[in-house]
């Protein structure tokens, strides 16, 4: 990068261009970003912890610790990385130690929280037993560290996938269906030769090819949705290619795999489930995508789950878009699908197809069961802030949500003052009237605006709004952190130290864009660190001045307007700064007794 800048005409000098200097620069930038998070935490009242674990490229368990709080400047939910820590062990004690180590870097000691420190109100983890164990889980140990009640939430995106997998296990054929899909993806994704043959065949048949990809366990819904789309779109090409392999291949293993896959592809039940599951996963993927948004609010989860259930339930009455396409393409008299694939097996009419109805009903019920905790306090009480559900008459509005607000005040009495707990229910009436006039806007925008204005009439009930915006429903940010970690600590950088990994991850996760980056705080931090060998002046921001270029001195540096008038005039007479340097140098060489000015 330095060489590129020099080619652009930038004089970077010869100092601090090695690897160690680069590490020092990154540490200085990271320290400024860490200090920003610590400063934010001193200015807020509440925070949530999000944490998850993953293995890096050097097979080391890393625990990612992120914090969610209401940003003191924008008053919107803000997620920042506290740290990424090396797990000493994967037991609850090791995870808690890693989380506490990460929090300490931000100036938080859970076991010694003072009155001025922010209060932990939520811990958001995935559903592993080590995290959510009732007696010795990570969430339980973290909750025991503080004196107030802590809401423990299971990542909603992870919970959704578990609900789908529960339903899949209940339908026996779906296990065989999934195995076939995986076999097809594996057959092509791990063989460049077969993929090349498939592309060539698609060009001959004039078909658009969507290449098969591996189904990943961590991202089951999204990866399987892509896999089903690829299998359905490439069905004609895939069947033709498998028939070609069977007729030409001499390899017994390849021949056996091709025959088994082709036999499944020619089953009418498989093709029916292929199109059915595309409809199902389309609805589930939409919900999963919503659950992965950064600023998701807790009451939005219930709405999304209910919407998913209704979309699945309506499919029991009328086939979805893709299943309807299947029925249109299948000729029952000739048992031919799409005029090119002869299928075997019987097909029931949709109203009598109990397999389809049972699958959809089970899936809907299992999803509702996984999210049954949304109907328990205090999560259920938070739905009163969803003003899209509020009644429209003043009489009904006056009584709406009163009990829920009192319940929230009671639940969070440990982190509310007596005055806030007693006056919040009365101010709830004022808040409802104010907010009901802004229903056309998103709840997040409305409530952030109220917090930013700091209105006296609703200042006590606004504390509950701060808690609402602080509570984290999803750990999707942790997954994004690990995606960045895999790019930072790639297979080519397995020896990257933990300290350097932490610095670079802070820059990637917490840092601003290159365009918005202000280097001065980091430069000041670097100058104060002592990691330098020459004397530098403290950087000072000065307004830019227009460049001045003298006639006949093209490419020369402009004369600085701050140079003393006499020196500036001399530079002009000599024809520019470079010419003046050469002239003075020649004079000083001829007259060694004179004082060297340049």
Our measurement of the distance from residue 116's CA atom to the centroid of its chain's CA atoms, rounded to an integer in Å, reads 30
Q: Are residues 352 and 214 in the same domain?
A: yes
Average pLDDT over residues 402-423: 95
Residues 181-195: tens digit of each pLDDT: 888 888 888 888 888
Q: How confident is the model at residue 204 (pLDDT cuts 50, 70, 90)?
A: confident
**Domain end among 304, 337, 368:** 368
Q: Are residues 224 and 100 in the same domain?
A: no
Q: Give the start-end residues of each E strand in 241-375.
A: 330-331, 336-337, 341-342
**Domain end among 469, 491, 517:** 469
* Stretch (H or E) spanning 96: helix 92-105
Q: Are residues 73 and 171 in the same domain?
A: no
Nearest residue to 298 (alpha-carbon basis) of 470, 476, 125, 149? 470
Whether 174 is covered by a domain: the verdict is yes
Whether 560 is covered by a domain: the verdict is yes
Walk across the sheet containing 46-55 and list its strands.
Answer: 77-86, 61-70, 46-55, 119-125, 151-154
Average pLDDT over residues 11-31: 86
Higher pLDDT, 515 or 571: 515
SS3 readout for 547-577: CCCCCCCCCCCCCCCCCCHHHHHHHHHHCCH
Q: Kindly compute the dihedral angle of the four CA atoms of residues 93, 96, 98, 103, in this order, to the nearest 10 degrees.
A: -160
Whether 341 is covered by a domain: the verdict is yes
**Domain end among 307, 334, 368:** 368
Whether 541 is covered by a domain: the verdict is no
> How large is the C-alpha radius of gyration of the chain?
32
Cα angle, residue 568 at apex, residues 567 and 571 outer, rounded to 5°: 85
Q: Say whether pLDDT at 274 is over 60.
A: yes
Q: Say whether pLDDT at 561 is over 50.
A: no
What per-residue confidence (pLDDT) applies to 355?
A: 86
Do 21 and 1 meet the contact criterion of CB atoms below 8 Å apart?
A: no
Q: Are residues 561 and 490 in the same domain?
A: no
Dig out the tokens for 348 from the structure.
Answer: 């029931």
Nearest residue to 411 (alpha-carbon basis) of 148, 152, 153? 148
DSSP 123-137: EEE-S-HHHH-TTT-
Total domains present in the chain: 4
Q: Say whether pLDDT at 238 is over 50.
A: yes
Q: Say whether pLDDT at 214 is over 60.
A: no
Residues 110-167: tens digit of each pLDDT: 988 888 899 999 999 988 889 999 889 999 999 999 999 999 999 999 999 888 888 8
Q: Are residues 322 and 219 in the same domain?
A: yes
Phi, psi values for residue 340, rounded to 5°: -130, -10
Determine the structural domain holding residue 566 and report its residue range. Answer: 547-598
Our measurement of the distance from residue 385's CA atom to the centroid of its chain's CA atoms, rounded to an integer in Å, reads 25
Residues 577-595: tens digit of each pLDDT: 677 677 666 665 554 444 4
Whether 540 is covered by a domain: the verdict is no
Q: Are residues 239 and 355 in the same domain?
A: yes
Nearest residue to 389 (alpha-carbon basis) of 328, 322, 435, 356? 435
Q: Are residues 359 and 219 in the same domain?
A: yes
Q: Say whether pLDDT at 545 is over 60.
A: no
Cα angle, residue 497 at apex, residues 496 and 502 outer, rounded to 5°: 100
């Amino acid at each position: 990068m330095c060489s590129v800048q020099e080619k652009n005409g930038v004089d970077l000098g010869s100092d601090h261009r090695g690897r160690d200097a680069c590490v020092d620069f990154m540490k200085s930038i990271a320290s400024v970003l860490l200090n920003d998070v610590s400063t934010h935490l001193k200015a807020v009242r509440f925070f949530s912890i999000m944490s998850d674990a993953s293995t890096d490229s050097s097979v080391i368990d890393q625990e990612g610790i992120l914090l969610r709080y209401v940003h003191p400047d924008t008053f919107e939910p803000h997620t920042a990385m506290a740290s990424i820590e090396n797990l000493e062990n994967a037991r609850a004690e090791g995870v808690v130690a890693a989380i506490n180590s990460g929090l300490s870097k931000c100036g938080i000691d859970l076991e010694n929280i003072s009155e001025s420190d922010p209060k932990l109100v939520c811990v958001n983890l995935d559903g592993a037993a080590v995290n959510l164990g009732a007696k010795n889980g990570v969430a339980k140990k973290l909750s025991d560290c503080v004196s107030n009640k802590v809401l423990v939430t299971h990542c909603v995106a992870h919970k959704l996938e578990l609900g789908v997998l529960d339903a899949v296990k209940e339908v026996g054929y779906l296990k065989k269906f999934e195995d076939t899909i995986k076999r097809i993806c594996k057959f092509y994704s791990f063989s460049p030769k077969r993929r090349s043959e498939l592309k060539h065949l698609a060009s001959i048949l004039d078909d658009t090819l969507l290449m098969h990809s591996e189904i990943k366990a961590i991202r089951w819904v999204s990866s399987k949705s892509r896999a089903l789309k690829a299998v359905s779109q490439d069905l004609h090409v895939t069947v033709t290619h498998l028939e070609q392999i069977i007729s030409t291949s001499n390899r017994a293993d390849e021949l056996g795999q091709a025959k088994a896959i082709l036999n499944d592809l020619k089953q009418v039940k498989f093709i029916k489930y292929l199109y059915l599951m595309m409809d199902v996963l389309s609805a589930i993927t939409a919900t999963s995508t919503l659950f992965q948004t950064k600023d998701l609010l807790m009451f939005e989860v219930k709405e999304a789950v209910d919407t998913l259930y209704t979309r699945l339930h309506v499919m029991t009455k009328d086939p979805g878009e893709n299943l309807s396409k299947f029925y249109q393409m299948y000729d029952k008299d000739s048992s031919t699908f799409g005029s090119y694939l002869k299928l075997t097996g019987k097909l029931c009419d949709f109203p009598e197809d109990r397999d389809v109805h049972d699958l959809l009903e089970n899936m809907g019920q299992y999803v509702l069961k996984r999210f049954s905790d949304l109907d328990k306090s205090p999560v259920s009480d938070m739905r009163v802030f969803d003003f899209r559900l509020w009644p429209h008459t003043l009489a009904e509005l006056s009584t709406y949500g009163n009990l829920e607000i009192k319940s929230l005040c009671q639940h969070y009495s440990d982190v509310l003052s007596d005055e806030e707990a007693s006056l919040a229910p009365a101010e709830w009436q004022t808040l409802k009237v104010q907010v009901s006039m802004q229903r056309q806007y998103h709840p997040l925008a409305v409530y952030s605006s109220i917090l930013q204005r700091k209105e006296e009439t609703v200042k006590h009930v606004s504390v509950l709004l701060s808690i609402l915006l602080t509570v984290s429903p999803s750990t999707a940010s942790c997954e994004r952190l690990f995606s960045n970690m895999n790019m930072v600590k790639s297979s080519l950088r397995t020896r990257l130290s933990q300290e350097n990994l932490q610095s670079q991850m802070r820059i990637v996760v917490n840092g601003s864009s290159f365009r918005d980056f202000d280097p001065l705080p980091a430069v000041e931090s670097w100058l104060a660190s002592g990691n330098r060998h020459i004397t530098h002046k403290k950087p000072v921001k000065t307004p830019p001045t227009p460049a001045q270029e003298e006639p006949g001195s093209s490419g020369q540096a402009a004369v600085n307007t701050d140079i003393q008038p006499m020196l500036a005039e001399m530079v002009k007479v000599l024809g520019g700064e470079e010419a003046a340097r050469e002239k003075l140098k020649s004079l000083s060489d001829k007259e060694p007794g004179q004082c060297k000015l340049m």
